[in-house]
Structure 1
């Protein structure tokens, strides 16, 4: 998908509308209604890159976007790269990716211009040292100095959501998974009113989620209060809790400290 060239810039009208929705949700009763989906997600562009047609052996034929032709690799073995990562979110959630899947912003996926589909990559944020693993299931980004477009979930783990972009290194892996470093939390909801976050935390603690915390954050100068369930020592434990909480808070996702 084509990333937002101006992610994190401008959009005052969008921000005002989003804050209005957030305030409305914060005043409603019930845990599900209090979650503000995509509170940290900026608008995405209206144009979408066409999927590259599948070829034999899981490779892809050359494709052209914005006048530039790309030649996907037949193999990802030994591939490494350093450059700028961006991310994409709610405007593409549920839409088809280049390999035919439905984009899920809460899964650990990414878009790359030439790596074979389903390539697994270790992505390291060179600005803060955070590392995660993603699977390529889409094409992009088609902005000159960017090398990978991360899902919202992957960008959250790497600390890219706030700044919008980050310097990263990419390295393909084969046959084994990397070990993630915790602790991990499941973000249940986000509020612009601190008292609403505190009430939700109290309810979650009373239900047995004793480690639930409130994390303060800012976006475009506005403070948000994020309710996060945890802490979990392994990614597997956090994922089990995320699946459990998804039934009541569909947009919950995992973060790592």
Structure 2
């Protein structure tokens, strides 16, 4: 155990030293494609769309109490102690964001994943792993959505370290840092493992990082709704809606939105009266592990 703690602290310290140089990373390459064949596969929706095979064991690993307990322990970097703590839906935080890219690509994150600079993830010093956060660049109004899978940035005044993809979304790659507002909007964000078994083409499954304008302000029928899929083609949404249509008293619905001028079809299970009810439903229904739930 002592060896594990030492390794974690050393890795965190390395992140602290290097994070101050993040702005010097190579510029964003819009034509770049994620690398396949890493030792660990990915299971984020956006990584899945890049052609990376989902990690079938990822859900059980991330839901393991031991793994979660380890990432919630106090830790020390450069003589300063940090205390991970729980957050709630709707919590907001203001501060500065930085980003990290090529220097860390394909290296391990604090929760044991492999960092993919083309996926929409981020590092935070204290948020629980797999917290889903909306990041608003208050300087230009652009926003994105990320999942926390790493610790950092260990630089005074910065509250989040974004992946290259997320930094590109809010147009902060060139400047290196930006004033942002964080809002906790969900937990999980893991890919629905059964999508490919339903004859849904992989290129039809969309990422889960939708801009605020594309996020429904209300999905009637309860206080919370679980997003179980998002698709470019209506047929893919229909297949998923049918799969989840037999869960009374909850109702599966398809909502049409627009993303970059093109229609997208998002599938929700609605009717949850509380965050706890939605969480309990996800735990009991393993076929939708990784469901992305939002405040209704």
**Ranges in structure 2 where 5+ consecutive residues have no aligned partner:** 1-14, 35-63, 190-207, 215-258, 266-296
Deviation at 1:233, TM superposition (A): 2.4
User: Are 1:94 and 2:123 counterparts?
Assistant: no
Q: Does 1:69 align with 2:84?
A: no
Shift of 1:128: 0.3
| Structure (1 or 2) with the greater helix fraction | 2
Query: How well do the aligned residues superpose, as a CA RMSD in angstroms?
Result: 3.6
Alpha-carbon offset, residue 4 of structure 1: 3.0
CA distance in 2 between counterparts of 1:74 and 1:56 reads 16
| Distance in 2 (alpha carbons) for counterparts of 1:121 and 1:36 | 25
Other-structure match for 1:233: 262
Q: Provide the rounded CA distance (Å) in 2 between the counterparts of 1:136 and 1:100.
A: 12
Partners of 2:112 and 2:118 in 1: CA distance:
17
Contact 1:55 1:61 survives alignment (8 Å): no
Q: In the superposition, relative to structure 1, how do residues 55 and 72 fare at CA in structure 2: closer, same or farther (>3 Å)?
A: farther
Tell me whether 1:161 sits opposite 2:145 in the alignment.
Answer: no
Are 2:123 and 1:111 equivalent residues in the alignment?
Answer: yes
Report the alpha carbon displacement of residue 132 of structure 1 after superposing the two structures with TM: 1.0
Point out which structure has higher relative CO (alpha carbons under 8 A, 6+ apart): 1
2:65 pairs with 1:58: no
Offset at 1:5? Answer: 1.5
Question: SS of the residue aligned with 1:141?
Answer: coil
Unaligned runs of 5+ in 1: 23-34, 39-53, 184-229, 237-257
Equivalenced residues, count: 155
Cα distance in 1 between the residues matched to 2:115 and 2:154: 17
CA change 1:36–1:131 in 2 (3 A) is closer
Give the Cα–Cα distance (whole angstroms) in 2 for the partners of residues 78 and 57 of structure 1.
Answer: 25
Counterpart for residue 41 of structure 1: none
In the alignment, the residues of structure 1 paired with residue 140 and residue 22 of structure 2 have an alpha-carbon distance, to the nearest angstrom, of 20
Aligned to 1:171: 183
How far apart are the structure 2 equivalents of 1:153 and 1:235? 20
CA contact (8 A) 2:67 2:111 kept: no
Residue 24 of structure 2 corresponds to residue 5 of structure 1: no
**Structure 2-normalised TM-score?**
0.45
Counterpart residue number, 2:157: 145
The match for 1:49 is none
